[in-house]
A and B are shown apart, each in its own frame.
Chain A
Amino acid sequence: AAGVIQSPRHLIKEKRETATLKCYPIPRHDTVYWYQQGPGQDPQFLISFYEKMQSDKGSIPDRFSAQQFSDYHSELNMSSLELGDSALYFCASSLGRTGEDTEAFFGQGTRLTVV
């Protein structure tokens, strides 16, 4: 079965550079969530989209932005990168239109290293 696809898997950037992470949800899923996971930490919610509109916002820095496109894929744009942004970034998708929370499936993540 198709899973959540994230690209790239690994990314190395220098401080103050920008990065774009992409997420392709499971087919027919309409909701995308972005999480940041530091070493040895639990995933921290950044932002989510439902039907191409932002639905919830967590601890996402102002330097980051995201959007969901007409084909439901999502991109997380990160600017003015800082060393502390080094982490695993996960995307998850689910079917939100049922009106109750359904299973959220995670991608394999993008490991961002800022040097």
Chain B
Amino acid sequence: GENVEQHPSTLSVQEGDSAVIKCTYSDSASNYFPWYKQELGKGPQLIIDIRSNVGEKKDQRIAVTLNKTAKHFSLHITETQPEDSAVYFCAASMGLGNTPLVFGKGTRLSVIA
């Protein structure tokens, strides 16, 4: 089955700097890659996603890149703010309709003011 590796497990950045989180996946059939932000005591919140027919997607300060050949995808957050502090999870699925997501282990991002 699919295996998703995520790193780093923790990341501290100064406010205003950029943060990059990287994930790799094992199943070449996977073609849907969402990113979730989880704050303490809350459910994961979808922040951006990308499909295999796209190499990059951007939404304001957040961008995701996908390299399907290398089977890795990354989350980029620019101009980080203290409210960006949370645990971020990458995930992958086969994109065939109602297939479950396989999550990475998560990255705890701390933005220091």
| Residues of chain A having any CB pair with chain B under 8 Å | 4, 30-31, 33, 41-45, 48, 50, 55-56, 58, 90, 92, 94, 96-101, 103-109
Contacts and interface: CB of A to CB of B under 8 A. Distances in A.
A100 B53 CA distance: 13
A25 B94 CA distance: 22
B93 interface: yes
Interface residues of B, number: 25
A42 B89 contact: yes
Q: Is the interface of A mostly helix, strand, loop or mixed?
A: loop
A105 B91 CA distance: 13
B42 to A, nearest CB: 6
Contact of B98 (A31, A43, A109): A31
23 contacts: A4-B43, A33-B100, A41-B105, A42-B89, A50-B98, A55-B98, A92-B101, A96-B98, A97-B97, A98-B97, A99-B96, A99-B97, A100-B95, A100-B96, A101-B93, A101-B98, A103-B34, A103-B49, A104-B34, A105-B46, A106-B36, A106-B43, A109-B43
Given A4-B43, A103-B46, 15 more contacts: A41-B105, A42-B89, A42-B105, A43-B44, A43-B103, A45-B102, A48-B98, A50-B97, A50-B98, A92-B101, A94-B98, A100-B32, A100-B97, A101-B98, A103-B49
A97 B51 CA distance: 17
A58 to B, nearest CB: 7
